[in-house]
Amino acid sequence: MSSANSWMVWMFLAMSCSVAAAGETPLDEMLLRRGAARDLAGVESLRERAMTSPDHRYAYLLARYLADPDRFVDAFVREFPANASMTYVYALELAIGTDGAQLTPYFLYAFDQLGMLAIQGKVEAIGKLYEVMLHSDAVVSEAVCESIYQTIERHPASAVERLAALEVSRRRGIYDVCLSEVMPADAVEPIKQSIGKPEHSPHAEVVKEILAALEQDATGSSRGRLPEKGDPP
């Protein structure tokens, strides 16, 4: 998460520790432990308490997804925070329970699951993945970017269509990081082959932007330039 919001992560962890020190299992821990145990009834029994706070509400939604992924996948994607509240998601990924174990199944679990759904071609997850990328940095950005370029390679039409729905400046924010800074060199050609030529796409401008971004080297210095509005096809 950004340094501007990092204090929120540590505040969350400090509050969790203080609650645990007082001998009471934190609500988020109860939710996620029951979710991991596939105890949906147990998760639902805590719903009323969870809904009193936006942060606990997310833990509840994630716990439902853990308990029954197939049933709650749409809600997981729809409710995944892609704004300042994403700091709380990251805090959950860092949190350690009173039993000494991590609260989520593994580090960056929620981000990985969102990326997996996008890679599988779930259109709503592709759009949400872009939004998450635009509000993330550091280790989260790297994880999200890996999912993004795999999604573009495997589902070029859907990936390009969802990019086209974003403003140009926001698309470039994704290109600058995911298709330049963190992309491995051996991923470039497969994406070029997958998205094809601009004239074969209903979103020719976006395809041109992607191809130009892929021409940037690992330092971000361009071997070409991103197309500007009005450039010839």
Tokens standing for residue 16: 């969790």
- Convert 11-41 to b/e letters by CB count within 10 Å (16 or more is b): ebeeebeebbeeeeebbbbbbbbbbeeeebe
pLDDT of residue 179: 87
CA distance 188 to 207: 14
Q: How many domains does the chain have?
A: 2
Residues 21, 87, single domain; the answer is: yes
Q: Give bridge partners of residue 222 from the DSSP assignment.
A: 216
CA distance 147 to 132: 11
Tell me if 90 sits within 8 A of 140, measured CB to CB: yes
CA distance 95 to 205: 43
Taken as a whole, the chain contains a residue count of: 233
The CA angle 103-106-107, to the nearest 5 degrees, is 90
Per-residue confidence in pLDDT tens, the chain, 233 aa: 444 444 344 444 444 443 444 568 899 999 999 999 999 999 999 999 999 988 899 999 999 999 999 999 999 999 999 887 788 888 899 999 998 999 999 999 999 999 999 999 999 999 999 999 999 888 899 999 999 999 999 999 999 999 999 999 999 999 998 987 678 888 899 999 999 998 888 999 999 999 999 887 444 444 334 444 444 44
pLDDT of residue 82: 86
CA distance 198 to 61: 40
pLDDT of residue 232: 42
Tokens standing for residue 45: 């029994």
Print the domain residue range for 34: 3-106
Residues 199, 121, single domain; the answer is: yes
Tell me if 208 sits within 8 A of 198, measured CB to CB: yes
DSSP state of 165: T
Q: Give bridge partners of residue 96 from the DSSP assignment.
A: 102
Residues 99, 49, single domain; the answer is: yes
**pTM for the predicted model, two decimal places:** 0.83
Residues 74, 117, single domain; the answer is: no
Residues 9, 93, single domain; the answer is: yes
DSSP three-state, residue 168: helix
End residue of a domain, out of 54, 76, 106: 106
Residues 139, 208, single domain; the answer is: yes
Asked whether residue 233 is assigned to any structural domain, the reply reads: no
